[in-house]
C-alpha cells in the first residue's frame, strides 16, 4: 500500500480513481497509523489537504459527502474534518448539502450517518457529528439562509423522544 500511495493519492485528489466509496481503497484496510511516523504523517496531511481543497471547490471531483465519508473512514474519526470545515459561500453550500444528506439518519439515530464505514461510525463519532451539527453546524446553516435545516440540526441536541415531540414537527415547513 505504501508503494501505491503516491499514485493513489493523486488519483483520489484529481478524480481519476473512478469512484470512491466505503472500503474501495486500501487505506481503509491497513493500519497506516502504525507505519513509520513520517509516512503516517503524510497520510494524515493528505487527508486534511484533500478535505480542505474539496470543501473550497464548488464542484469537487466526487460528492462532498462521499469525500467526507472517505476521509473519516480512512482517519477513523470525523472530528478533524468537522472542525476543519472551511468557511465561505462554497463551504457553506457543501455544509447545506451534507446536512440535508445526514439529518434524516442522525435524527432517527440510524447507523448510516457521517463517517463512512463501520470503522469510523462508532457511537463516539456519531455523537461527535450530531453534537457538531447541533451546535456550530446549526449556527453556520443559518448564515446561508437555511433556518429550517438549522432547526432540525439543533433538534439533535435533544433526547430521541423529545426530538420527535418538539413543536417544530407541527409546522408546515417540517412536513413539506
Domain count, the chain: 1
Percentage, residues of the chain above pLDDT 70: 82
Q: What local confidence, expressed as pLDDT, does residue 119 receive? A: 42
- Express each pLDDT in 48-63 by its tens digit: 999 999 999 999 999 9
Which grid cell is 104? 434524516
CA atoms within 13 A on the CB side of 59: 0
- Express each pLDDT in 162-176 by its tens digit: 999 999 998 755 554
Which grid cell is 79? 472530528
For all residues of the chain together, what is the average pLDDT? 84
- Express each pLDDT in 76-101 by its tens digit: 999 999 999 999 999 999 999 999 99
> 155 is in which domain, residue-wise?
5-175
Q: What local confidence, expressed as pLDDT, does residue 16 receive? A: 75
Do 47 and 74 form a contact (C-beta atoms < 8 A)? yes
Round to whole Å and give the CA distance between 159 and 84.
27
Q: What local confidence, expressed as pLDDT, does residue 121 receive? A: 54
Q: How far is CA 6 from the centre of its chain?
A: 24
Q: What is the pTM of this model?
A: 0.84
pLDDT band at 126 (very low <50, low <70, confident <90, very high): confident
Amino acid at each position: 500500500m505504501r508503494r501505491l500511495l503516491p499514485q493513489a493519492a493523486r488519483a483520489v485528489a484529481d478524480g481519476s480513481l473512478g469512484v470512491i466509496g466505503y472500503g474501495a481503497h486500501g487505506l481503509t484496510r491497513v493500519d497506516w497509523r502504525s507505519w513509520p511516523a513520517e509516512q503516517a504523517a503524510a497520510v494524515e496531511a493528505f487527508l486534511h489537504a484533500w478535505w480542505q481543497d474539496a470543501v473550497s471547490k464548488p464542484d469537487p471531483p466526487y460528492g462532498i459527502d462521499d469525500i467526507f465519508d472517505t476521509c473519516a473512514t480512512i482517519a477513523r474519526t470525523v472530528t478533524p474534518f468537522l472542525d476543519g470545515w472551511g468557511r465561505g459561500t462554497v463551504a457553506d453550500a457543501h455544509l447545506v448539502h451534507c446536512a440535508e444528506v445526514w439529518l434524516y439518519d442522525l435524527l432517527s439515530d440510524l447507523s448510516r450517518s457521517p463517517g463512512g464505514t463501520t470503522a469510523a461510525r462508532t457511537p463516539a463519532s456519531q455523537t461527535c457529528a450530531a453534537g457538531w451539527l447541533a451546535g456550530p453546524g446549526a449556527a453556520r446553516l443559518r448564515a446561508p439562509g437555511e433556518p429550517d435545516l438549522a432547526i432540525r440540526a439543533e433538534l439533535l441536541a435533544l433526547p430521541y423522544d423529545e426530538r420527535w415531540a418538539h413543536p417544530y414537527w407541527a409546522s408546515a415547513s417540517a412536513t413539506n
